[in-house]
């Protein structure tokens, strides 16, 4: 029976009472009507329509029984109304549960989607970090290779200087020691032609490196006056600096100092010792 039929039955029942019908509908039927109205206006109509329709049919039967003969069918009406009420309340409960389940599923779906996006974002971010790290590793590898190549060039250049220089690593940096006898004539600060050629190789090798600073120290033996030795040692260190700068090295990173005889590496009592003390040292820091 259609919904209009149910509405008509309820209206007719109400009208009968208003016109002086012999008795009022039993409370079970009133409760059934109220229960159905609540269920029909709730989520049951959309989510569990079949169960709501069962309640509707049960209520129609109760209404028809009451309409046919309220006195004779009073007990039947009460029974049918009770069944209709229970079915209406069940439909309402199932509708509420279905709505809650639908909302829970929607929330779960939204949560899953959010987690998926979050995981995707995290994966994307990790990808960016990984890519950045790989790029940095490549850059470091390029720097290592460039440094190794520069050091190899420097080693090759210094190897050709083995007759006039010694190279060692100290706490203050890489120390290149050049014997004064192969750089200058006695008492002079002008570089010898061969010394210039060798220093050209050193300049080229150092130019391929990223050095922070080069300190050029001029040293003398103890013969002569302190003033003369200071002047000579500084002049010789300056000559080496000027030549390296002329070969392209950054002069702002190179410092020339004259230390005279203050830092001997050998005795000044022998000719050999004094010859060793007459030297120029390049301290290279990276």
Q: What is the DSSP letter of 225?
A: -
Instruction: Tell me the three state secondary structure of residue 257.
Output: strand
pLDDT at 155: 67
State yes or no: pLDDT of 18 exceeds 50.
Answer: no
Ordered structural domains, the chain, with CATH: 3-104 (no CATH), 160-285 (3.30.1330.60)
- The model's pTM: 0.49
pLDDT at 232: 96
Beta bridge partners of 258: 218
Compare 14 and 79 and report the one with higher pLDDT. Answer: 79
Q: Where is 87: in which H helix or E strand?
A: helix 74-159
Is the pLDDT at 183 greater than 60? The verdict is: yes
pLDDT of residue 67: 83
Q: Which band of pLDDT confidence, cut at 50, 70 and 90, is reported for residue 12?
A: very low
Predicted pLDDT at 19: 44
The DSSP secondary-structure symbol of 264 reads -
Q: Which of 203-207, 242-246, 260-264 has the lowest mean pLDDT?
A: 203-207
- Return the pLDDT at 158: 64
Question: What's residue 129's pLDDT?
Answer: 67
Tokens of 268: 């000044």
Q: For residue 275, which of 200, 212, 183 has the smallest C-alpha distance?
A: 183
CB-CB contact of 6 with 67 (8 Å): no
159 or 112, which is more confident? 112
Say what the pLDDT of residue 255 is: 97
Q: Are 188 and 237 in contact (CB under 8 A)?
A: no
- pLDDT of 47 above 80: yes
> What is the structure's pLDDT at 2?
39
Determine what percent of the chain is predicted with pLDDT higher than 70: 84
Residue 269: its pLDDT value, please? 94
Long-range contacts of 149-154 (CB under 8 A, 24+ apart): 149/208, 150/205, 150/208, 150/209, 150/210, 151/209, 153/204, 153/205, 153/208, 154/205, 154/206, 154/208, 154/209
């Amino acid at each position: 029976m259609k919904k209009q039929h149910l509405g008509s039955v309820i209206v007719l029942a109400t009208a009968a009472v208003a016109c002086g019908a012999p008795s009022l509908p039993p409370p079970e039927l009133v409760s059934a009507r109220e229960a159905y109205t609540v269920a029909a206006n709730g989520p049951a109509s959309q989510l569990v329509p079949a169960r709501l329709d069962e309640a509707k049919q049960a209520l129609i039967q109760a209404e028809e029984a009451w309409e046919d003969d309220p006195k004779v069918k009073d007990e039947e009406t009460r029974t049918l109304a009770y069944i209709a009420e229970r079915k209406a309340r069940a439909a309402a409960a199932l509708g509420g549960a279905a709505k809650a389940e639908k909302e829970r599923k929607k929330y779960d779906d939204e949560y899953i989607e959010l987690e998926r996006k979050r995981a995707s974002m995290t994966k994307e971010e990790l990808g960016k970090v990984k890519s950045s790290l790989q790029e940095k590793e490549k850059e470091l590898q390029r720097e290592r290779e460039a440094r190794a190549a520069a050091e190899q060039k420097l080693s090759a250049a210094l190897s050709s200087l083995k007759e006039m220089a010694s190279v060692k690593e100290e706490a203050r940096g890489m120390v290149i020691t050049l014997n004064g006898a192969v750089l200058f004539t006695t008492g002079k600060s002008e570089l010898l032609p061969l010394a210039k050629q060798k220093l050209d190789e050193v300049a080229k090798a150092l130019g391929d490196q990223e050095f922070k600073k080069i300190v050029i120290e001029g040293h003398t033996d103890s013969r002569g006056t302190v003033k003369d030795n200071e002047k000579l040692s500084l002049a010789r260190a300056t000559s080496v600096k000027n030549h390296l700068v002329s070969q392209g090295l950054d002069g702002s990173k190179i410092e020339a100092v004259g230390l005279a005889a203050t830092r001997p590496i050998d005795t000044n009592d022998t000719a050999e010792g004094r010859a060793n003390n007459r030297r120029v040292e390049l301290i290279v820091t990276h």
